[in-house]
Amino acid sequence: MGFITNMINGISLGSVYAIIALGYTMVYGIAKMLNFAHGDVIMVGGYICFIAMNNLGLPPVVAVLLSIVGCTCLGIVVERLAYKPLREAPSLAVLITAIGVSYFLQNTALLVWGADPKAFRSILDLPSIKLFNGQLTVSPISLVTVAACVAIMVGLTLFTTRTKMGKAMRACSEDKGAAQLMGINVNTTISMVFAIGSGLAAIAGVLLCSTYPTLMPTTGSLPGIKAFTAAVIGGIGSIPGAALGGVLLGIIEIFAKAYIGTQLADAIVFAVLIVVLLIRPAGLLGKEIHEKV
């Protein structure tokens, strides 16, 4: 039964990674930038939800919606102020700016909410589900997390393939210049991607904090890096790849914690990334692009 419990926990954690990774992969696909501030948007989402539930006494559903709206706005504002002026700049300048934004968000959170960890109350107030005479317990939040991940995956796939905006996004990520010539507003499209990515980060933040209920200004950084790793494992720029990479990473992490040791789990997660990239340099589902001379 231990195996099944671990598997469920792994898939649930992996679903959170997958949701974050989706945001990462979409932003990378269109803006070709490593958005290191993405992890901190998760943390902001967690705090908004926490404040809305504990200080304002709002019902969880409203709190989650508020958190999504807040992070979406944050994503758009950050893109406008910090990333848009650097669209033609070398990628390293954009990377450093993203790191600056990440420090900015962390330290603002530190000033506003303090350094002490907050005990996050789960958005679901339901008892655990017991199966097989109590041998197997499943927390309802795990089920919600997995369901949310699947719903987001399906939604995003439909959005990018069926809607005009989604097609515009794919066009922009393929060739910005050509997309512009076809009458696509590239700036609006990029803003839209940041908005979606940040909204997803808010959902991920709420789900992450409901499962692991400590909320600090640095809560988002490590899951952010791991989700990015997941996106790269799956093949960066690919939506199914991000989901696959996320779930895989979550399962590996939980099993490594259970059977090898908590301390070494992160090292194993990163080792998997290296092995995958050595075998498939473009990630599991990524397209390999051959250089032309």
Partner 1 sequence: MDRLKNLSKASRDTLITYAIVIVAFVIMQALASMHAISSSMIGLLVPITAYICLSISLNLVVGISGELSLGHAGFMSVGAFTGLVAAQVLAPAITSGPVRLLVAMLIAGCFAALAGVLVGIPVMRLQGDYLAIVTLAFGEIIKNLLNNLYVGYDGSLHFSMKDTASLGMNGGKVLINGPQGAVGIEKLSSFIAGFLLVLFTLFVVTNLVNSRSGRAIMAVRDNRIAAESVGIDTTKYRLMAFVVAAALAGMAGALYAMNFSSIVPKKFDFNTSILILVFVVLGGMGNIRGGIISAALLTILPEKLRFIGDFRMLIYAIVLIAVMLFSNNAQVRMAIDGLRGRLSRKDDDEALGDAIEGGDAQ
Task: Tell me the pairing of strands 129-131 and 118-119.
Answer: unpaired
- Between 164 and 292, CB nearer to partner 1: 292
Q: In angstroms, give the least distance from the CB of 34 to partner 1.
A: 6
Q: In angstroms, give the least distance from the CB of 186 to partner 1.
A: 17
In the chain the beta strands, taken as DSSP E runs, fall at 118-119, 129-131, 136-138, 214-215
Give the residues lining the site for partner 1 (CB under 8 A): 28, 34, 82, 85-86, 88-93, 95-97, 99-101, 103-104, 106-108, 110-111, 221, 225, 228-229, 232, 236, 261, 263-264, 266-267, 270-271, 273-274, 277-278, 281, 291, 293
Tokens 């109590």, residue?
A: 134
Tokens 């839209």, residue?
A: 192
Q: In angstroms, give the least distance from the CB of 73 to partner 1.
A: 19
- Euclidean distance between CA atoms 182 and 276, whole angstroms: 37
Burial of 37 (0-12, 13-18, 19+ CB in 10 A): buried
- Between 125 and 291, CB nearer to partner 1: 291
Q: In angstroms, give the least distance from the CB of 85 to partner 1.
A: 5
- Between 56 and 275, CB nearer to partner 1: 275
58 is written with which tokens?
Answer: 């709002």
- Between 44 and 168, CB nearer to partner 1: 44
- Between 113 and 159, CB nearer to partner 1: 113
Residue 237 near residue 286 (C-beta atoms within 8 A):
yes
